[in-house]
Amino acid sequence: MTDDDTNSHLFEAPSAFATHLGIRQTGWRKGWARVEAPLAPHVANRQGLPHGGLHATLLDTAMGFAGCFTGDPDQQQMALTLSMTVNYLGQARGSRLVAEGRVTGGGRKTYFAEARVTDDQGTLIATATGVFRYRTPATP
């Protein structure tokens, strides 16, 4: 991947939830997306480890964005998660979590995706698969 593949000029403003968690887009193109979050005390569980909900949120967010790339900042596509399966595999040791999602199939109304979360040292933390439904634009 080159810097041109990140399409940073197309990144959407983060939701209030993503902002609270520190999640930001760092890459986006057709069928693929990357999001990252810092490991910080406010995302830790009672053991001081990154909460599994943060991993799941990153995986869901990466897969959601992967299916919604339009290449046009004036044409926003949205999707809803219909189902998601998460597998927790390792423990983060770095300072940042990185999730990459990619579309694996689908059609006009739904798509399938997979994602993985690593820490910034390359340790595989979690993987997921999901099914998503495209949202139709609301009519005024």
pLDDT digits (tens, 9 = 90+) for 26-52: 999 999 999 999 998 888 889 888 898
Inside any domain, residue 92: yes
pLDDT at 137: 67
Q: What's the rounded mean pLDDT across residues 57-61?
A: 97
CA–CA gap between residue 34 and residue 102 (Å, rounded): 9
- The domain tally of the chain equals 1
pLDDT at 16: 87
pLDDT digits (tens, 9 = 90+) for 61-111: 999 999 999 988 888 899 999 999 999 999 998 899 999 999 999 999 999
CA–CA gap between residue 36 and residue 14 (Å, rounded): 12
The CATH number of the domain holding residue 86 is 3.10.129.10
- Collapsing DSSP to helix, strand or coil, 29 comes out as strand
Q: Which domain holds residue 60?
A: 3-134
Inside any domain, residue 140: no
